């Protein structure tokens, strides 16, 4: 296809996606590469919102499992997402993409507060919005934040960039016989406990009929391919036979 099939997308990236081959932190080469792909999508006319996890810096759930107060750990995780958001903003603006970072937790010196109508206005003006600090509440993942924000800004689809090329019946690294799904229904995901998004995020998407496409962010050009309608990865929607 020679033009995008989606008018407005929400791209969900894990924090680990920014770490590249490192296990921790932000890899400048990786973040620059992702920023360049996002620029191509924006130049094609698609409006882009981003939600980035914080697992490359701090994982609230892992810390709480080792004794830290869950709410405190989750707030620390939200701050980690802000570090990633500011890093992505820097990478995008260095290549000429106008961006705004909006935070669910007020921090005026580094980001705007998240205001739905303002976020939509930025998108309409061709700016990339980076939505940090999750939902602003503990006990909710950045997957849930992505689903919530996608619905608030009326995104056409959630694109979830991961380290594998879709959803499999088992971990393809550990089980060579694992089969890949090209299409799934929300109910399939929930019943089989597949690692697409957490159950709250999947249920939100199901209730509002918002498609999710899971694809490999590490393959160059994949973001644009998905936006232009190429069938890569796994799509989750109302009926797996649609």
SS3 1: coil
For residue 138, is it within any domain? yes
Residue 24 lies in a domain: yes
Asked if residue 214 belongs to a domain, the reply is yes
Give per-residue pLDDT as tens, 66-102: 888 999 999 999 999 999 999 999 999 999 999 999 9
pTM above 0.85, yes or no: yes
Helix (H, G, I), strand (E, B) or coil at 137: coil
List the domain range (segments joined by +) for residue 74. 8-237
In a domain, 153, yes or no: yes
Total number of domains constituting the chain: 1
Residue whose structure tokens are 């191509």: 40
Contacts of 187 (CB under 8 A, 6+ apart): 206
What is the domain-level CATH number for residue 59?
3.40.1160.10
Under DSSP, the state recorded for 235 is E
The single residue listed with the structure tokens 């701090």 is: 58
Q: Is residue 148 a part of any domain in this protein?
A: yes
Q: What is the pLDDT of residue 90?
A: 97
What pLDDT, in 10s, does the model give residues 153-191?
Answer: 999 999 999 888 899 888 777 888 888 899 999 999 999
Comparing C-alpha atoms, which of 150, 216, 98 is closest to residue 225?
Answer: 216
Please state, in angstroms and rounded to a whole number, the distance separating the CA atoms of residues 122 and 111.
14
């Amino acid at each position: 296809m020679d033009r995008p099939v989606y008018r407005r997308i929400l791209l969900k990236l894990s924090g680990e996606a920014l770490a590249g081959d490192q296990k921790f932190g932000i890899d400048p080469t990786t973040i620059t590469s992702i920023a360049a792909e996002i620029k191509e999508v924006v130049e094609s006319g698609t409006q882009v919102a981003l939600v980035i996890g914080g697992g490359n810096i701090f994982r609230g759930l892992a810390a709480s499992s080792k004794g830290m107060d869950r709410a405190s750990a989750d707030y620390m995780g939200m701050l980690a997402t802000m570090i990633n958001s500011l890093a992505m903003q820097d990478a995008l603006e260095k290549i000429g993409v106008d961006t705004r970072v909006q935070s669910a937790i007020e921090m005026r010196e580094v980001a705007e507060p998240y205001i739905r109508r303002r976020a939509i206005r930025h998108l309409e003006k061709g700016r990339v919005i980076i939505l940090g600090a999750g939902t602003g509440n503990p006990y909710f993942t950045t997957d849930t934040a992505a689903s919530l924000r996608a619905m608030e800004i009326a995104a056409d689809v959630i694109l979830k960039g991961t380290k594998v090329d879709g959803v499999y019946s088992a971990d393809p690294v550990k089980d060579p016989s694992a089969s890949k799904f090209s299409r799934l229904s929300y109910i399939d995901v929930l019943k089989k406990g597949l690692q697409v998004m957490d159950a709250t995020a999947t249920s939100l998407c199901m209730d509002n009929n918002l498609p999710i496409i899971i694809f490999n962010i590490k393959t160059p050009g994949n973001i644009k391919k998905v936006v232009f309608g190429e069938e890569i990865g796994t799509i989750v929607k109302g009926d797996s036979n649609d």
